[in-house]
């Protein structure tokens, strides 16, 4: 295992972060705030929000089974993905290794940061070989990206292979668990104390039904969280988002109900898809979507658009020839999709 200092970009390791008025005084006892050049009128929107979201983190810690100092909150998981590059990789020098296919933002952020991205193909069942991932690494590999349940395939990546990567790789391992609420497997975020260089990503955008508020989470050892907090924009999560996040975290029973309805609907849709003449194969899924191999994905995709039903055409993605990715909707929406596909000829 390499030291965190050795993995961090040298300029980031020595960075003194911007110190905001709310960093210098964050207590609740003051009642005359003349320190941040805010307008005293138009409460509560006149005040800068808490840069460290201290009212939100205890609720997240409780739900997610991690401690408050193991939590970073950002403007969607996308912010955490970008921060991984900005904190740990030197452009033109370092590289990252990722499963392929997977979520597109890992590559886009590599390109934006001018960092070499090394995709390693999954097998025909969308499973990862730890040995293949490790063989793609060299002394400049700083990060390995794994997504489980994976997008766009929907399946969980084999736990034993992930553990092998975690045990053998000496850099940062990111596991994106955006869809773990839809799976019964024990999430890797509960293993943080065993793996000091593990970063787990979660989001409010999927099971929590809050894509609009833009709140993503990274869970990691406290030292990594401190580096993220140093580099992020001072007020990266706005007040309205923090308030809405607290609300939804206070009514987790809605989320549990949504998840069980969606899983039930997913199973119904998959059973029905298997009977469709236009569907050749459904890949196993632990997410709120599934990947379906069709007879002719492009024309079925266009046919559905004409009926006002939008799915995702993944045909041009590695290993996803003729595949559509279907998100589970409400019962009524799913029924419309099935009715349309039954009429297709």
Residues in contact with ligand PLP by CB under 6 A are 76-78, 103, 147, 151, 176, 178, 203, 205-206, 211, 216
Min dist CB 206 to ligand PLP, Å, is: 6
Alpha carbon 183 to chain centroid distance? 15
Closest CA to 154 of 335, 325, 338, 337: 325
Tokens of 340: 């349309």
For ligand PLP, the closer CB: 217 or 278: 217
For ligand PLP, the closer CB: 169 or 208: 208
CB 175 within 8 A of CB 198: yes
For ligand PLP, the closer CB: 57 or 206: 206
- 3-state secondary structure (DSSP) of residue 98: strand
Closest CA to 180 of 220, 148, 146, 219: 148
Min dist CB 315 to ligand PLP, Å, is: 18
Neighbour count for residue 185 (Cβ, 10 Å):
12
For ligand PLP, the closer CB: 307 or 312: 312
Min dist CB 216 to ligand PLP, Å, is: 4
For ligand PLP, the closer CB: 255 or 278: 255
Min dist CB 67 to ligand PLP, Å, is: 22
Min dist CB 189 to ligand PLP, Å, is: 14
For ligand PLP, the closer CB: 141 or 205: 205
Min dist CB 98 to ligand PLP, Å, is: 11
Q: Give the number of C-alpha atoms closer than 13 A to the C-alpha of residue 341, restricted to the C-beta side.
A: 28
CA dist., res. 128 & res. 169, Å (int): 15
Q: What are phi and psi of 197, to 5 degrees?
A: -110, 25
Closest CA to 257 of 207, 203, 328: 207
Min dist CB 74 to ligand PLP, Å, is: 8
Closest CA to 180 of 63, 293, 338: 63
Sign of the dihedral defined by the CA atoms of residues 112, 115, 120, 125, in that order? negative
The residue number whose beta carbon is nearest to ligand PLP equals: 76
Min dist CB 307 to ligand PLP, Å, is: 25
For ligand PLP, the closer CB: 66 or 218: 218
Min dist CB 294 to ligand PLP, Å, is: 21
CB 141 within 8 A of CB 96: yes
CA dist., res. 134 & res. 154, Å (int): 23
For ligand PLP, the closer CB: 120 or 341: 120
Strands 198-203 and 172-176, bridge-based pairing? parallel
**Spatial CB neighbours of 48, under 8 Å, sequence gap ≥ 6:** 20, 21, 22, 36, 38, 235
For ligand PLP, the closer CB: 215 or 337: 215
């Amino acid at each position: 295992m390499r030291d965190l200092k050795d993995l961090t970009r040298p300029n980031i390791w020595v960075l003194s972060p911007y110190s905001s008025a709310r960093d210098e005084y964050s207590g609740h006892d003051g009642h005359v705030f003349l320190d941040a050049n805010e307008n005293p009128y138009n409460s509560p929107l006149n005040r800068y929000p808490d840069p460290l979201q201290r009212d939100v983190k205890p609720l997240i810690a409780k739900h997610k089974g991690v401690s408050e100092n193991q939590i970073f909150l950002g403007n969607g998981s996308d912010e955490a993905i970008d921060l991984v590059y900005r904190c740990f990789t030197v452009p033109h020098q370092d590289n990252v290794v990722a499963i392929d296919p997977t979520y597109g933002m890992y590559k886009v952020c590599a390109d934006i940061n001018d960092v070499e991205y090394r995709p390693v193909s999954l097998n025909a069942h969308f499973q990862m070989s730890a040995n293949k991932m490790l063989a793609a690494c060299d002394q400049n590999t700083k990060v390995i990206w794994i997504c489980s349940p994976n997008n766009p395939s929907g399946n969980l990546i084999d736990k034993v292979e992930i553990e092998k990567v975690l045990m053998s790789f000496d850099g940062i391992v990111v596991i994106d668990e955006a869809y773990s609420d839809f799976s019964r497997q024990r999430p890797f975020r509960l293993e943080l104390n065993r793996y000091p260089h593990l970063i787990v990503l979660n989001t409010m955008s999927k099971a929590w039904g809050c894509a609009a508020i833009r709140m993503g989470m990274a869970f990691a050892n406290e030292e990594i969280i401190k580096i993220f907090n140093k580099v992020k924009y001072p007020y990266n999560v706005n007040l309205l988002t923090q308030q809405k996040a607290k609300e939804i975290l206070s009514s987790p029973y809605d989320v549990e109900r949504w998840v069980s309805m969606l899983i039930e609907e997913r199973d119904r849709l998959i059973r029905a898809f298997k009977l469709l003449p236009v569907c050749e194969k459904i890949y196993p899924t632990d997410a709120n979507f599934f990947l379906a191999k069709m007879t002719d994905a492009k024309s079925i995709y266009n046919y559905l658009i004409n009926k006002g039903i939008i799915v995702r055409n993944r045909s041009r993605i590695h290993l996803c020839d003729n595949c559509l990715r279907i998100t589970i909707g409400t019962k009524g929406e799913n029924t419309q999709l099935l009715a349309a596909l039954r009429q297709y000829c």
